[in-house]
Structure 1
């Protein structure tokens, strides 16, 4: 009986520590790097598409 309680406490502690580690990694910016945002260009600033016919 006491052994079962001890096992449950140890399992709960391990799961709790794993959750804390995962949360800490997320809060500290872990994971893959985020891609830089690409700026939105006005139509006249965009490079021409290959094969397109220019206006005018």
Structure 2
């Protein structure tokens, strides 16, 4: 059975959501890929920043 960790789940969500955002929000293939990568980096970056913030608050 597939039981991903929280971080793996975040990576999967970021990947699928970024693919959808790239396809639906841009018209050319190059723009789709660039926007998808931008969204992916933002998803993962915000999750890492939020996890550090929660770690600092807990301390």
Q: TM-score, normalised by structure 1?
A: 0.51
Paired residue total: 30
Runs of 4+ in 1 over 4 A off after TM superposition: none
**Deviation string for 1:8-31 (max 9, x for gaps)?**
00000000000011000000017x
Whose Rg is larger?
1
Q: Which runs of 5+ in 2 are unaligned?
A: 1-29
Task: Specify which structure has the higher proportion of helix.
Answer: 2
Tell which has more relative contact order, 1 or 2 (C-alpha 8 A, sep 6+): 2
